[in-house]
Each structure stands twice: as C-alpha cells, then as structure tokens.
C-alpha cells in the first residue's frame, strides 16, 4: 500500500495529490479512449504553438483500431484526376504549410490527446528543481519513506518517469540511513529501476552516487539540513541530467533520452512531495521529520524553491502557479500544507507526519 502527498504541476494548475479514489465509469471510459488514441511514438516533438506531436508507425495509427478497418491497408497515394487547386485570386494569399518538423519515413504525425474531459493545453517542462529538508527516520523492514520530485509524460500504460530525492528504505539499502535515491521507467514500468539496479543511468561524478548517504540531517526544532535537486534535459543531447546541491553543486550523471518512450522532448508533469510505502500489516512509516506541518519550518519537512523549466531545454526556471486544487491523504497519518510563496524560500510546501495504521 502506497500513500502519496505531492503537488503536481501542469500548465497553470497545481494538484496536491494523495491516494486516488476509484475512477467512475465515465473516467474509465475516458482513460480507455486516451489509451487508444495515444500510441507509443517513434518520435515526439513540440510545435511552436505548444502542440505535442507523436510520430506513429503509419500502419499502427489510431484510425486503424476501428473494428471495420482490421484488415485495411494504408493507401499512401491517391488515384485522382487532380492537377492542383488552380491559381488564387489576386487579392488573396494561401496559408503556408511546411513550418513543422516532418516525422521520420514510415511514420505519421498524430497530435497528442492530453485530456478529453478538461481540454488542457500542457506547457512542456524541460526540468524540475527543488530543495528539501533531510531527516533521520526510524523505518521498519518492509516500509520505505521517500521525499522526492518527479517528471513524467505519456499515457498510463506507456508512462515515462524520472524520480529523484532522498529515501529511507531498509529493504532497498539494508539500513535505515537517509540516502539519495533515483527511480526511472521509460515505458510504463516494463523497464527501469531504483538507482543503478539495472542498466540505464550513466554515472559521471567521481564520488557522489545515486545511493549516497546524506549527513548531517535535520533535527526537530533545531538546525535544518537541506538537499537541492535538479533534473534537467540537456538542450543539445536531450539527455536528462541529475544535479544535486549539498555543500557544493554536483553533476551526478544522466539518463540517456533513448531510455524513454515519452520523455525525449520534455515532460508533461512536474511534481514534488513524499511517498510512504506501508508494510504488510498496513502500517505506514514516518515521513519528513515524523511530524505534521504546524507552520514552523523547523518542525515539519519542507520543499522550497520549487521550479520548472518551461519553453525550451536549458531555459529559465519558473515557480508553479498559485492556482491549486488539493486532495488530502485520507489515512490522516500525514499532513500537507501548500504555503505558496514564502519570503526567502520561494514556492514552498510543508509536509510529513508520524505514520501509523493507514489501511483503507
């Protein structure tokens, strides 16, 4: 059982997310239709208008999912008695085509359908930044407590995702030390892993690794020690870099863009928050400092300086929107407070709690 507290940023809206309720029939039908229309792309790019275009195998495009087209063979050239439209009138000019990037041979451009229900135009993100306080936690075997940010893109069954932050996980690490961690999947959890438990993440720094122990840690009511994290897409290679900032900036390494089905040209979502993994008895671990937010940043964990890189790879970073919709964790073992802009801290969230029984 997993319980999540986070803010999810897309376009001009932020969502504070907890355990999702079961979708109703209408939502399931919308999800089904989105899965049909959003096929795994060979290539994806974003137009200057902000449209997401997927280059799909011409013989696997959504039109051919119609039951009456099961054996249809795509006709690539028309057989018509057609010699053009003729000259335009002297007072008019034709609209111009050819300003978009063409898809590779054998593929066709299919506009990405983001939402049938909300008609959202996503602002593509090319990076996710944040600084979070780090604590020492007592976490039981079978539990894990992570404090992270992530980026993702693509439909649920082919989602591409990168997560980075700090975690306490006896099962993963064999101890209860607060450590840097990462997770990635390129294609709907069919691949990917934590840290370097599978091939993919390219290590570059000569010291700092993706399971690096973090010392010293914050104390309740006392000194606060923070970890700065950046996941940015390189504006030349398209690779996704992990950068950390403790007592000094570190370029840890990168995930090659080829690993990702839907993160080759930016991301749809950026998010920040925490994830508590319960044990088999339905008991969730502590999160953050082990205390819920009370307005004092020396008491509960925080994520400050939240920013996303929008527009172009390597561009300027900007904070999330002030418009929010919130869902609170129903187990009541954690708390979450979106403080928006805090002087000296930028866009800030306050979160965490003691854990406990979280069945339901």
CA 316 from centre of chain? 18
Count of CB atoms situated within 10 Å of the CB of 208: 18
Kindly report each contact of residues 98-104 with a partner whose C-beta sits within 8 Å and lies 24 or more positions away, as own/partner: 99/48, 100/47, 100/53, 101/45, 103/42, 103/43, 103/53, 103/55, 104/42, 104/43, 104/55
**What are the pLDDT digits (tens) for 34-87?**
454 555 678 887 776 566 778 888 888 877 777 777 888 887 776 655 555 556
Handedness of CA 247, 340, 126, 258 (dihedral sign): positive
Phi-psi region at 338: left, alpha or beta (left = phi > 0; alpha = psi -120 to 50): beta
Handedness of CA 334, 335, 336, 342 (dihedral sign): negative
- State residue 24 phi and psi, 5-degree precision: -80, 175
pLDDT tens, residue order, the chain (360 aa): 444 555 555 432 333 333 233 344 544 544 554 454 555 678 887 776 566 778 888 888 877 777 777 888 887 776 655 555 556 556 545 455 566 778 888 888 877 765 444 434 467 889 999 999 999 999 999 899 999 999 999 888 899 999 999 999 999 998 999 999 999 999 999 999 999 989 899 999 988 999 899 989 999 999 999 999 999 999 888 899 999 987 778 899 999 999 999 999 899 888 898 988 888 888 989 999 999 999 999 999 999 999 988 877 777 888 876 544 555 666 788 888 989 889 999 999 999 999 998 875
Give yes or no for a contact between 165 and 258, defined as CB atoms under 8 angstroms apart. no
Indicate the burial class of 42 (C-beta count within 10 angstroms; 0-12, 13-18, 19 or more).
middle
| Residue-wise burial string across 291-308, b where 16 or more C-beta atoms lie within 10 A, e elsewhere | bbbeeebebbbbbbbbbb
Q: What is the pLDDT of residue 98?
A: 60
Q: What's the pTM value of the predicted model, to 2 decimals?
A: 0.71
Count of CB atoms situated within 10 Å of the CB of 6: 23
E-only strand ranges, 91-225: 107-111, 125-133, 144-153, 160-168, 179-185, 193-194, 202-203
- Strand 13-17 relative to strand 324-326, pairing: parallel
């Amino acid at each position: 059982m997993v319980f999540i507290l986070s803010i999810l940023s897309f376009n001009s809206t932020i969502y504070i997310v907890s355990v999702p309720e079961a979708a109703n029939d209408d939502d399931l039908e919308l999800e089904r239709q989105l899965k049909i229309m959003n096929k795994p792309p060979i290539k994806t790019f974003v137009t200057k208008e902000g449209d997401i275009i997927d280059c799909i195998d011409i013989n696997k495009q959504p039109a051919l999912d119609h039951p009456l087209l099961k054996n249809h063979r795509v006709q690539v050239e028309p057989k018509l008695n057609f010699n053009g439209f003729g000259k335009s009138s002297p007072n008019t000019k034709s609209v111009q085509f050819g300003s978009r990037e063409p898809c590779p041979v054998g593929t066709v451009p299919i506009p990405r359908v983001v939402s049938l229900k909300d008609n959202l135009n996503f602002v593509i993100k090319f990076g996710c930044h944040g600084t979070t306080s780090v604590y020492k936690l007592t976490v039981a075997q079978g539990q894990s407590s992570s404090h992270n940010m992530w980026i993702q893109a693509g439909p649920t069954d082919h989602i591409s995702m990168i997560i980075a932050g700090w975690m306490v996980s006896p099962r993963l690490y064999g101890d209860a030390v607060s450590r840097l961690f990462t997770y990635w999947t390129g294609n709907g959890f069919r691949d990917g892993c934590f840290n370097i438990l599978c091939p993919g993440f390219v290590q570059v720094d000569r010291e700092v690794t993706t399971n690096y122990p973090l010392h010293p840690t914050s104390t309740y009511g006392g000194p606060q020690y923070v970890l700065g994290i950046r996941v940015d897409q390189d504006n030349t290679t398209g690779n996704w870099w992990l950068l950390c900032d403790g007592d000094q900036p570190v370029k840890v390494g990168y995930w090659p863009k080829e690993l990702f089905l839907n993160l080759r040209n930016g991301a749809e979502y950026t998010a920040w928050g925490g994830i508590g993994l319960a044990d088999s008895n339905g008991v969730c671990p502590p999160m953050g400092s082990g205390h819920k937010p009370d307005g004092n940043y020396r008491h509960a964990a925080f994520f400050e300086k939240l920013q996303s890189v929008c527009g172009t790879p390597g561009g300027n970073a900007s904070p999330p929107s002030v418009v929010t919709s919130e869902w609170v964790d129903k187990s009541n073992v954690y708390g979450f407070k979106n403080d928006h802009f805090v002087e000296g801290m930028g866009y800030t969230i306050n979160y965490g709690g003691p854990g406990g029984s979280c069945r339901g």
